[in-house]
Amino acid sequence: MKNKLMKKTLAAVMALAIVGGAMPTAFGGTPLLTTPIVANAADGYATLNGDTLTIGGNIKKDILDGYRENSNVKHIVAAEDTILPVNSSYLFYARDALNEEQAYWLNLQTIDLSNADMSQVTNMHGIFMGCGKLQSINFGNCNTSNVTEMAAMFLFCESLISLDLSGFNTSSLTNTDAMFANCFNLKFIIVSDNWDVSNVTDSEDMFYRCENLKGQNGLNSSSNLGVSSGTLRDKTYARIDTEEAPGYLSEAGYAPSFVDFDNTTGTLSIGGWITRNDVHWYQQTAGIKHIIALEGTVLPKNSSFMFNGMAKLADNEECWTDLETIDLSKADTSKVTDPQLLAVLLSSRCPRRHRCKPLR
């Protein structure tokens, strides 16, 4: 697989050299600029101030090439007059086929494109490829309705933890091959109802080695669905994770779940978009006396048996044996559709009714 991706990367960069001109050398070929490359706003410009590179006008790859090897650049911010080109492939790329390690933008941490006009863009192939130090990308409410190519878009973006693509309209998208490949640390991707991959015809390795990616209901991309081993890492699960249709993506407003047990107080705190599996992981943990939902906790549509303490897991194994109180007063239960279940949840009654009392 590594050789396969390297071949894809090599082909991509050869195309880059043809489209964008001579490929900059990895070390020493391109001058490190600290002064702006600017004729006028229509021609595009870039200005480095401290560690922030501000871009604007009709930005082109050759303008960015002048700063690609500058180790001072930590942040790239698009000004309000920024217009991305029709062919934005490899615009911010940081790695070429001649280097197995990142060669450019060595300290780049954030990119803010929230002010950029993307309405004319059709090709975003490899636009952030190899930006291994990149921690966040702000797309804002961008217009991607004309984009057909997003292959290798985030390939080798190894430091990304989350991606908010809720502004994306992907109705024209046809190619997502290796789009998120080798994003080892990516935990969640947020999309909206405008996320549509029905026209995608090439999605091989879309989620290759996205080992920590998890959908909003807990579907993990490294589970037995075989994302790392080879079967379902294409567009099949490139959808919002629901019980009816599992996927690797999450809807706008999603916050990753977390569970924390304080054994000194016996309190299990839950938060974010909690799942039944999150809670069940602790059901045999001794010493849990209280369960408290923190502000921002969202219970799933199917919350049945979430706090079930009467069922035996084996012949002599019960769960929540020390549980005394449950407080869900701060939890958002709007997704719970079963009225009877909702009544039980809101009563804060412990499943072990003989010892539980509300904690208000």
pLDDT for residue 273: 92
Dump pLDDT digits (tens) for 19-48: 444 333 333 334 444 444 443 446 899 999
Task: Locate the domains of the chain by residue range.
Answer: 258-346
* Closest among 105, 90, 98 to 60, alpha carbons compared: 90
Nearest to 319 by CA among 358, 346, 348, 291: 291
- Per-residue pLDDT, 53: 98
The count of C-alpha atoms lying within 13 angstroms of the C-alpha of 257, restricted to the half-sphere facing its C-beta, is: 23
The model's pTM is 0.76
State the pLDDT at residue 99: 66
pLDDT of residue 251: 93
Distance CA(158)–CA(172), nearest Å, equals 27
- Tell me the helices (H) and strands (E) count for the chain, helix number first: 4, 15
Question: Which residues pair with residue 293 across a beta bridge?
Answer: 270
pLDDT < 50 stretches in the chain: 13-14, 17-41, 224, 226, 228-230, 310-314, 349, 352-360
pLDDT digits (tens, 9 = 90+) for 96-118: 756 678 889 999 999 999 999 99
Q: Output the pLDDT for position 218.
A: 81
What residue type is assigned to position 182 of the chain? N
CA distance 249 to 262: 31
DSSP line for 206-218: TTTT-TT-B-TT-
Number of Cβ within a 10 Å radius of residue 160: 21
Output phi, psi for 277, to 5 deg.
Answer: -65, -35
Residue type, 282: Y
Question: 267-271 and 290-293 as β-strands: parallel, antiparallel, unpaired?
Answer: parallel
